């Protein structure tokens, strides 16, 4: 079908492999630039890092808000996809703990996007639902597995836990003391209380 534009950063079916590589490079570069310099960083900084021209960026992401939303979705997808990978590699409690730490890292690095996401731009309207639709099942599977193993209590609500971690996550640049990791350890200890009861 050729090098078609995307809708809000989501590739259409039939996008050529080279166009998909350009999209992936742009999303990766934009995520890095946004983390370092904020969402208002110059486009040329993103395109230089991605190794593509400005025309390629605007063909796939006509507005900056399209790029920001696509980066957010891309990072949500990667974080959610880590849950089954961790579950296959570690025991249920360790997998749960590692994923909660990964999720907290995701939240901490997205603090800079907060103003953009709450700007009233309708491009961002679907993002809270996207967040919940991807993260809640990922965490729910980890919680269920840990509860079945007798490692944690069985009444933990995944959405409550996601919100709690979102509230306690400290921006990565400000967390050199390990505050967020300590808070997650306390939360996991709380989940262990009453396990198997």
How confident is the model over 31-43, as pLDDT tens digits?
Answer: 989 888 888 899 9
Same domain, residue pair 55 and 89: no
Q: What is the CATH number of the domain that holds 46?
A: 1.10.10
Verify that 84 and 57 share a domain, yes or no: no
Of residues 57, 59, 58, the one with CA closest to residue 28: 57
The mean pLDDT of 87-101, rounded to a whole number, is 96
Pair 86, 182 in one domain: yes
Which of residues 43, 62, 81 is at a domain's end? 62
The sign of the torsion formed by the CA atoms of 73, 77, 78, 83 equals positive
Domain housing 173? 72-193
Distance, CA of 70 to CA of 31 (rounded, Å): 10
The distance in angstroms from the start CA to the end CA of the chain is: 57
Q: 63-80, pLDDT tens digit by residue?
A: 999 999 999 999 999 999
Residue 88 lies in a domain: yes
DSSP conformation class of 112: G
Q: Please indicate, yes or no, whether residues 86 and 31 belong to a single structural domain of this protein.
A: no
Please tell me whether residues 94 and 159 are part of one structural domain.
Answer: yes
What's the confidence (pLDDT) of residue 116?
A: 73
Domains identified in the chain, total number: 2
Average pLDDT, the chain: 85
Per-residue pLDDT tens over the stretch 58-67 = 999 999 999 9
Instruction: Write the pLDDT tens digit of every residue in 11-58.
Output: 445 568 888 999 999 999 999 898 888 888 999 999 999 999 999 999
């Amino acid at each position: 079908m050729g090098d078609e534009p995307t809708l809000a950063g989501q590739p259409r079916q039939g996008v050529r492999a080279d166009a998909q590589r350009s999209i992936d490079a742009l999303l990766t570069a934009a995520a890095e630039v946004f983390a370092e310099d904020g969402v208002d960083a110059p486009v040329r900084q993103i395109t230089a890092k991605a190794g593509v021209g400005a025309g390629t960026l605007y063909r796939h992401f006509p507005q900056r808000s399209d790029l920001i939303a696509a980066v957010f979705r891309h990072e949500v997808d990667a974080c959610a996809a880590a849950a089954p990978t961790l579950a296959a590699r570690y025991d249920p409690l360790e997998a749960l703990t590692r994923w909660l730490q990964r999720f907290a890292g995701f939240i901490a690095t997205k603090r800079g996007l907060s103003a953009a996401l709450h700007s009233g731009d309708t491009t961002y309207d679907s993002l809270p639902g996207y967040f919940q639709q991807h993260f809640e099942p990922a965490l729910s599977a980890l919680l269920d597995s840990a509860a079945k193993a007798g490692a944690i209590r069985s009444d933990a609500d995944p959405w409550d836990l996601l919100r709690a971690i979102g509230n306690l996550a400290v921006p990565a640049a400000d967390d050199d003391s390990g505050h967020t990791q300590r808070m997650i350890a306390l939360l996991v200890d709380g989940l262990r209380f009453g396990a198997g009861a």
